[in-house]
Amino acid sequence: MSLVKPKKPKYKALPKAPRMSAAADSWKRYEAKVKAVNAENQKRKSEYEKKLRAYETEMKNREKLKEKARASKF
């Protein structure tokens, strides 16, 4: 099994903010969009970190096995 380090995720860009003189409804919609984008980005980040931890754990296990093999001399 080939082991490949996971790539960093591409995050969604935050939406453009309305003008300061915009209606309150516009600001509420903007806030909802920002929350949705942040939730999506957080989901991507957590998936990446989960894959990265699994990769690092596997690499440590392989390194330990190499050390064990190196230390055992007949």
Structural domain boundaries of the chain? Answer: 25-68
Segment 17-37 shows an average pLDDT of: 97
Q: What pLDDT was estimated at residue 21?
A: 96
Return the number of other C-beta atoms located less than 10 Å from residue 43's C-beta.
Answer: 11
* Whether residue 9 has pLDDT greater than 60: yes
Cα atoms found within 13 Å of the Cα of residue 38, Cβ hemisphere only: 6
State the pTM of this model: 0.80
* Whether residue 22 has pLDDT greater than 80: yes
Gap between the Cα atoms of 37 and 13, Å rounded = 8
* Whether residue 32 has pLDDT greater than 80: yes
